Amino acid sequence: MLTKRVIVCMDVNDGRVVKGVNFVDLRDAGDPVELAEVYDREGADEVVFLDITATSDERATTIDLASHAAERLRIPYTVGGGFHDIEGARAMIAAGADKISLCTAAVRDPELITLASRAFGSQAVIVAIDAKRTGAADSWEAYIRGGRTPTGLDAVGWAQEAARRGAGEILLTSMDRDGTQDGFDIALTRAVARAVPIPVIASGGVGTLEHFAEGIIDGEADAVLAASVFHFGTFSVRQVKEYMAGQGIPVRLDF
């Protein structure tokens, strides 16, 4: 049976993981690839590197990260940020990234989703949606530029358009829940998961083991993503997967 995935996310700035990392067995807790290798050994199904560098040489830094990861990781990984166009995306794939994640660039130029999926295959194109609740009930707006800029786009509608244009997966982050440890925005996750024919990765808000299972069972997500709870050592990936297995969710435990 196809398992539900547990994905670890790393925010990277100038080639270093930002947000706290609490591992004691690392030579260098800020090295994203070294950290990702630990998660590979712990049973993470995938890792995502989100480059949040805002300097002019960001593409070079991100390519360097992507190729370093290709040398060391034996699980799939995604690179997001650090590029804005098809050439940039191509450079990441050429460096070894299995998938690219598009957020701001996709909203500014939705054709980029189509071009990328034609060039690399849908399976290699993730559209990341940062969604924030509007005043109305069960209504969310997509934001870009790291959550700084509203787009006027309905998050569910945008997810549908992204899928139509060839996105292979949606990485859905609840801005309302991100960093709160209150759990995923289940209504948002379910609304998007039901609206699109492609896998949805739930992100934003995980604080307990129960939250992971809720994202899959109640949110109907295909994968759950978290950062801090892993980086701070609150839970290990294995612990999360064993809990999920106990809730009847198919997960990979043979690692």
Active site residues: 11, 130
CB 5 within 8 A of CB 240: no
- In the block, which residue shows the tokens 């999926």? 117
CA 161/CA 79 separation, integer angstroms: 22
37 binds other proteins (CB under 8 A): no
Site for other proteins in 87-116 (CB under 8 A): 93-96, 98
CB 238 within 8 A of CB 45: no
Binding mask 125-164 for other proteins (x = CB under 8 A): ----------------------------------------
Number of H helices, E strands in the chain: 10, 11
List the one residue from 29, 52, 70, 86 that touches other proteins (CB under 8 A).
70
Nearer to other proteins by C-beta: 68 or 132? 68
Nearer to other proteins by C-beta: 29 or 70? 70
- In the block, which residue shows the tokens 């590979």? 40
Site for other proteins in 215-234 (CB under 8 A): 222-223
Burial of residue 234 (CB within 10 Å: 0-12, 13-18, 19+) is middle
Residues that bind other proteins (CB under 8 A): 1-5, 40, 45, 67, 70-71, 74-76, 93-96, 98, 120-123, 168-169, 197-199, 222-223, 252, 254-255
